[in-house]
Structure 1
């Protein structure tokens, strides 16, 4: 989709009000297209707003692990991270833009680059991982444009709508991040 203007993209920690906006985007917005691409082989059932907010507000560290993607001042998605194994310092990150009007225009790449900078700046880790599935070609391109390297392909481990897909494991080392041109932000 060709947009008339370039949007201002930012990421920031979520407020309680932002959590309501994310919940609405995730469960109630008319555009639920993201569900076809964000690990659709896992069923995610709707939870009440109060439970959604409680999950994030009770564990203060979760809010730090989940930032909002702000496009022209409105939350339209999230970036996140989780520990695959905190003891061994294995961190994975992810991104979801819920509003499909903002897909395929470089916004995800901008947001993910900002998130990588936050993670490497504030967490002492040698590597960031990102895992997607072979059915999500936009996410694979986004990862590669951000400087992630395909490290592994687990063949036919994601079953969706009668077809098997591969799990795609990407990684970026701190020294690779340091060498990236900063003009991609």
Structure 2
């Protein structure tokens, strides 16, 4: 668990599952999906179906909760892009609009990236987004990430083509600006 004032990131516990389901899978067309890869379909699940796979969430090292004032509002996550486990990508989801635009995403990702670099033998951490998610691009820039790739017009949403954007930061770049002991 890591904390920055009223914001905490921590592993998922069984008691968190109903709230996670409510945030992610309850609604057919949640507002957050407009920003989080809206070109991919979103599928609802019943609470029972979600709870049937609870072991995928509880104490998973690759997906933690974000709490603000002890209320679950989102997740931070990571996954390997390659079988050698050298290319780690991370992500973040804030599932309610009232959490957006307050700098909470930047703060949560600082905590998460510190955790990743402190607990894993990583050379680089990256994130992939799309040009329509200008908030995520801005957060990555604030974190000191470099644009490493732009695949032009490969994402299609609401009649418009968008770019896929890959950003990343090396361990030494991160350590020079954010790392804590």
Task: Show structure 1 runs of 4+ deviating over 4 A.
Answer: none
SS at match of 1:85: coil
TM-score of the superposition, structure 1-length normalised? 0.88
1:66, 1:149 → 2: CA distance? 24
Name the CA shift for 1:148/1:56 in 2 (closer, same or farther; >3 Å): farther
2:18, 2:28 → 1: CA distance? 16
Q: Which runs of 5+ in 2 are unaligned?
A: none
2:97, 2:15 → 1: CA distance? 22
| From 64, 67, 78, the counterpart of 2:64 | 67
Post-superposition CA distance 1:77-113 (Å, at most 9, x none):
0000011113151110000000111111100000011
| From 154, 157, 179, the counterpart of 1:157 | 154
Q: Which runs of 5+ in 1 are unaligned?
A: 1-5
Written as runs of structure 1 = structure 2, the 5 A alignment for 1:116-155 is 116-155=113-152
| From 10, 13, 16, the counterpart of 2:14 | 16
1:122, 1:52 → 2: CA distance? 29
Superposition RMSD in Å: 2.3
- 1:92 equivalent in alignment to 2:89: yes
SS at match of 2:164: strand
